[in-house]
Amino acid sequence: MRTEVRIVAAVGTLPEIHASGGLAVRRTGPHTVHLIGTAATPLGGDELDIEIVVGVGARLVVRSVAATIALPSAATPLSLAHWRFDVAGALDFDPEPTIVAGGAHHHAVTVVRLTPEARLRLRERVQIGRTGEDDGGWRGDLIADVGDLPLLRHRLELGADGATDDNLGAPRALDSELVYPDDRPADTTGLVASRLPLAIGGTLSTRTGVLLGPNG
């Protein structure tokens, strides 16, 4: 199944929504929308293509009503998600976690384009496996630019056969947050959590572990 979603926020009007496939979008406030699953997706072989645009002076809050569960199919374990964010206003993006079931592999590519005046909070939470499962896999690529300048190039893998999966540590959960602008200093005091300032502004906070915490 192919799922396509486009959300456009502009000043003085409700968010414009286009959605087809396994996701719907509902306006739940003047500046808020919720993503809603309408079919079992992503299954192996599925592709999600989601674009969010926030115009100059506009504000948008994006949430979801439930966790996303990535499942394998009989043909392939791999599903793909492509996220594109064009932000000139203010975006707060914090959906429920993605759960990668046993035997499934999910690859998410997120591309963010910001203007220097934009404001962004972009959170991503991932859990490998449901109860009793730990053999799924996830890879996330995060590419962010401010104008013509690179802000971030980041890749992280979790789960079976991932670069972080070894005898010393096998994290199965991720809580990641990109904030721009943000002038908080670095915080690398935790063993599994860190906040790193980015060269042209903003921060990337990352926490990994066996399970998502009580707020994740």
What are the tens digits of pLDDT across the range 44-69? 999 999 999 999 999 999 999 999 99
Burial profile 19-34: b = 16 or more Cβ within 10 angstroms, e = fewer:
bebbbbbeeeeebebb
What are the tens digits of pLDDT across the range 119-172? 999 999 999 988 777 788 999 999 999 999 999 999 999 986 676 676 666 778
| pLDDT reading at 216 higher than 60 | no
Please measure the distance between the N-terminal and C-terminal CA atoms of the chain and give it in whole angstroms. 28
User: d(Cα 140, Cα 42) in Å, to the nearest integer?
Assistant: 15
What are the tens digits of pLDDT across the range 86-100? 999 999 999 999 999
pTM: 0.92
pLDDT for res 168: 61
User: d(Cα 127, Cα 216) in Å, to the nearest integer?
Assistant: 9
Domain boundaries, the chain: 2-173
pLDDT for res 208: 86
| pLDDT reading at 214 higher than 60 | no
